[in-house]
Chain A
């Protein structure tokens, strides 16, 4: 009962502030701080453009990171050998349409819309889609247990890759 009260006490504005904070870290390339937003059992998934409901256990997906691979992704992106992102691109993660769909126990199901712009070498790439989050209330505030970024674009044109974190 106590735990229900914990998720129940989180307002949409708290969630929005948390997601804006995450976006801010990504745009500032503060990737270690970003990774620290995830729980140990976290998952970060980006399905294939033509299989938006894809299940990483069965289907081809673009990204399927557990906590270790989230850290590895950060290590890679901080290296100057991540050639697609060295020098780093400029990005802007725009998060809107935030809805808390469910609160139960210490977890919240959250949906939001994203537009992520990536600029580099006088070129603009964009990623547009929906975030599905599972957030947990911890002693240190909200944390991400699951983040799924489902792209609306039917393919990765014009971007040639998902070299940044969505």
Chain B
């Protein structure tokens, strides 16, 4: 496809407030081939969280951008990212999901590598000639690996800019989430791995799409409103809740640079970080208020309010989601084909959290964010139904223009998605467009 053809896949007219995406981007093999080359092989992709490999020798097997990788902590505590393929003749080195080891041995011909990737054992090594270079035959490292506040990213592009530069405005919000957790988050054991039969870009859109919340998740909001009401009745609080109203009217959508975007609003629900709600019970109130005071002492009123009382959905281009709603999720997704993606989702929590707040957090995660909950199955359904709709190729365009006429777009608008798509076009065409809303 030519640069012009690729460019024409998005209509971005800020004069007339029109933003459209051509639906062939969701079904074309050619587009996916180009995305693999120009996006997945070019930018930073999320690998994992440092807490998953705490001790030297810890390793986790992971697939990133379609590549099998090993995420490992070396002898001196270094964080390593290797391709999970034997440098001898290709067999998979690490065949466990995770573990701790001094070395990893390839089962095929028994070459052995340490957790820093060095080739330490070759059976019958004297049969190799002078050209056999042990140093060069260590596990192959990914071109770049960098970490920001515990979040580890890799890039297959040696020329990619430093991670912190790439993250741009997203750094502020990663800082906010990590600082609110007293500086240390951990991944909770267990993850969600599932397939959605839809184009991967639909999940990028969905992950910070405030507009779908009320219609798609009606059953969740009904459930949670009922619980909240029962809880309030139990403690004699009869003031009206106003949750739905604040959901609709507050907050902002933001362009964080480099295709990253965010929606943020005052949370109409409690947050185990430091915002009490009746759902947490009357006994939890003093504890949560103490947490809130600590945040104020440390960060001042304004930042403490942002940490405790607001929730945010953030997509770091292209496929890393960090949503800090009531619980915190880290999520990434990778195309298998134009119509199928694999999703991995984890839960993050402050390391030093009280058991009560941890329980509230776990509960919220599984009822809202989890694939067995009252919301996420309906997101999966929505994405799959869009994908099925794209078979009607005569209907060529999707509209993403909400809020283009506003100076301050809200989470219900689509600025954050336009930000994502503009970056997509930039990378796909190699052309940097003029600034637009």
Number of B residues with CB within 8 Å of any CB on chain A: 41
- Which one of B187-195, B287-295, B318-326, B401-409 is at the interface? B187-195
User: 1/0 contact trace for A82-107 toward B, CB 8 Å?
Assistant: 11110000000000000000000000
User: 1/0 contact trace for B362-399 toward A, CB 8 Å?
Assistant: 11011100111110111011101000100000000000
Q: Which of B191, B358, B388 has the largest number of chain A CB atoms within 10 A?
A: B191
Asked if A124 lies at the interface with its beta carbon under 8 angstroms from chain B, I say no
How far apart are A159's CB and chain B's nearest CB, in angstroms?
A: 7
Question: When the two chains form their complex, are residues B195 and A84 in contact, meaning their CB atoms are under 8 A apart?
Answer: no
- Which one of A28-36, A59-67, A138-146 is at the interface? A59-67
User: 1/0 contact trace for A39-59 toward B, CB 8 Å?
Assistant: 000000011111100101111
Query: A residues bordering B, Cβ < 8 Å?
Result: 46-51, 54, 56-64, 69, 72-73, 75-76, 79, 81-85, 121, 123, 154-163
Question: When the two chains form their complex, are residues B377 and A161 in contact, meaning their CB atoms are under 8 A apart?
Answer: yes
Asked if B218 lies at the interface with its beta carbon under 8 angstroms from chain A, I say yes
Chain A residues in 8 Å Cβ range of B377: 82-85, 160-163
Question: When the two chains form their complex, are residues A62 and B370 in contact, meaning their CB atoms are under 8 A apart?
Answer: yes
The 10 A-B pairs at the shortest CB distance, nearest first, are namely A60-B190, A51-B190, A155-B193, A48-B190, A156-B194, A62-B372, A161-B377, A84-B377, A163-B377, A162-B372
Question: When the two chains form their complex, are residues B366 and A84 in contact, meaning their CB atoms are under 8 A apart?
Answer: no
Question: When the two chains form their complex, are residues A82 and B378 in contact, meaning their CB atoms are under 8 A apart?
Answer: yes
Q: Which of A51, A62, A76, A123 contacts B371 (CB 8 A)?
A: A62
Asked if B100 lies at the interface with its beta carbon under 8 angstroms from chain A, I say no
Chain A residues in 8 Å Cβ range of B380: 84, 160-161, 163
How far apart are B209's CB and chain A's nearest CB, in angstroms?
A: 15
Q: Which of A46, A61, A62, A84 has the largest number of chain B CB atoms within 10 A?
A: A84
Question: When the two chains form their complex, are residues B193 and A156 in contact, meaning their CB atoms are under 8 A apart?
Answer: yes
Query: B residues bordering A, Cβ < 8 Å?
Result: 97, 188-197, 216, 218-219, 222-223, 226, 342, 346-347, 355, 358-359, 362-363, 365-367, 370-374, 376-378, 380-382, 384, 388
Question: When the two chains form their complex, are residues A72 and B189 in contact, meaning their CB atoms are under 8 A apart?
Answer: no
What is the CA–CA distance of A69 and B220 in the complex, to the nearest angstrom?
12
Chain A residues in 8 Å Cβ range of B97: 50
What is the CA–CA distance of A123 and B192 in the complex, to the nearest angstrom?
21
Chain B residues in 8 Å Cβ range of A156: 192-195, 371
Q: Which of B342, B366, B382, B388 contacts A62 (CB 8 A)?
A: B366
Question: When the two chains form their complex, are residues A63 and B218 in contact, meaning their CB atoms are under 8 A apart?
Answer: no
Chain A residues in 8 Å Cβ range of B378: 82-84
Question: When the two chains form their complex, are residues A82 and B195 in contact, meaning their CB atoms are under 8 A apart?
Answer: no
Question: When the two chains form their complex, are residues A48 and B191 in contact, meaning their CB atoms are under 8 A apart?
Answer: yes
Q: Which of A57, A79, A162 has the largest number of chain B CB atoms within 10 A?
A: A162
- Known: A59-B189, A82-B219, A84-B380. Contact between A157 and B342, CB under 8 A? yes
Question: When the two chains form their complex, are residues B381 and A84 in contact, meaning their CB atoms are under 8 A apart?
Answer: yes
Question: When the two chains form their complex, are residues A60 and B342 in contact, meaning their CB atoms are under 8 A apart?
Answer: no
Question: When the two chains form their complex, are residues B371 and A161 in contact, meaning their CB atoms are under 8 A apart?
Answer: yes
How far apart are A90's CB and chain B's nearest CB, in angstroms?
A: 16
> Told that A60-B188, A157-B193, A161-B377 touch, could you supply 11 new A-B pairs with CB distance under 8 A?
A47-B190, A48-B191, A54-B190, A56-B362, A58-B358, A60-B366, A61-B362, A76-B374, A157-B342, A161-B194, A163-B381
What is the CA–CA distance of A139 and B261 in the complex, to the nearest angstrom?
58
Name the residue of chain A whose CB is nearest to the CB of B383: A160
Q: Which of A64, A72, A123 contacts B363 (CB 8 A)?
A: A64
Question: When the two chains form their complex, are residues B194 and A160 in contact, meaning their CB atoms are under 8 A apart?
Answer: yes
How far apart are A165's CB and chain B's nearest CB, in angstroms?
A: 10
